[in-house]
Amino acid sequence: MEKLGSEYSNLTYLRNNENKGTSAVLNQAIEASTGEWIFVLDDDDVIFQRTLLNFAKTINEHGEKHSWFTFDFIRGNENLQYLVGQDYYG
C-alpha cells in the first residue's frame, strides 16, 4: 500500500499497487483513519455541493442514537443527467 501526501494535512490518500477488493480496501481505510467519521465515495459516484454539510448536520443531530447512516441515491448517466425512475433508497 502506498500512502501519498496531500496539500490538506487532514486528508489521507491511500493507494494499493494491486486490486485487493472492496472489503479489504475499506478495512484498510478504516484502520488508517484517525477521524471521527468515514465517508465512502466510490469512483463512479458523484456528490452534490452540500452533501457533506448535510451529512454532518444529520450526524450531529442524531448521532447519539445511531452509529451509522445511509441516504437515498439518485441515478444519472455518464453526463450526470438524471435517470427518471431509477433512484434507489437507503
Helices (H), the chain: 22-32, 51-62
User: Is a pLDDT exceeding 60 seen at residue 90?
Assistant: no
Rounded distance between C-alpha atoms, residue 70 and residue 14, angstroms: 23
Query: Higher model confidence: residue 7 or residue 59?
Result: 59
Q: Confidence class of residue 27 from pLDDT cuts 50, 70 and 90?
A: very high
Residue 23 CA to residue 66 CA, distance in Å, equals: 22
Cα–Cα distance, 67 to 50 (Å, whole number): 22
- Domain spans, the chain: 1-35, 43-90
What's the whole-model pTM score? 0.58
Question: What is the Cα–Cα distance from 50 to 18, expressed in whole angstroms?
Answer: 33
The label of the residue with cell 454539510 reads 53
**pLDDT for position 81:** 85
End-to-end CA distance of the chain: 32
